[in-house]
Amino acid sequence: ADEFLTNFSRGLHNNGAFLPWHRGYLLQVENQLRDISPNITIPYWDWSRNPQISQDSIWGDEPGQFSGNGGADRCVTDGPFGTGSGFELTNGRCLQRRITGGSAASAAEVQNLLDRYPSASDYDQFRNRLEHGPGMHDSVHCLVGGTMCSARASNDPVFFLHHAMVDKIWADWQ
């Protein structure tokens, strides 16, 4: 998480490095997790299946869920990533969330992106739309809000599932 924060403003966004750098970052994290258990993999969160992300079953306090919204101070207190479970950011602060009622891209909108830029020569247009287009990468970060909509986004465990989805879309395009 701290490596991501260090590199956040060093040219890894808004250009062709965005997708390959994040793919490598996910692999690095996944390999570190595999040192703990060789069966671990980072799944993708397919927000296109339920674009109203505030209603997605990923949020909740049960095992396998990723906690939910924060309180008045936006700090998440319950669930596996709440302060009640001892979870904190690398700077010692609480995980913050303010999950809004906005929408991520639907499966049809993701497919439209893939169809709109079908060739390798379309990479930069495709990458730009995936990174900044409505309901895509940037939007989902800020629909989750709080920590996810900041330079410390990689401190939120859902960051990795979100970027695995972005990587899946890129893999589908490839």
Q: 40-86 pLDDT, tens per residue?
A: 999 999 999 999 999 999 999 998 999 999 999 999 999 999 999 99
Q: What is the pTM of this model?
A: 0.93
Cα separation, 172 vs 107, in Å, equals 13
DSSP string, 163-174: HHHHHHHHHHH-
Task: Please check the confidence at residue 108 and state whether its pLDDT lies above 70.
Answer: yes
The answer to whether 143 touches 150, Cβ cutoff 8 Å, is no
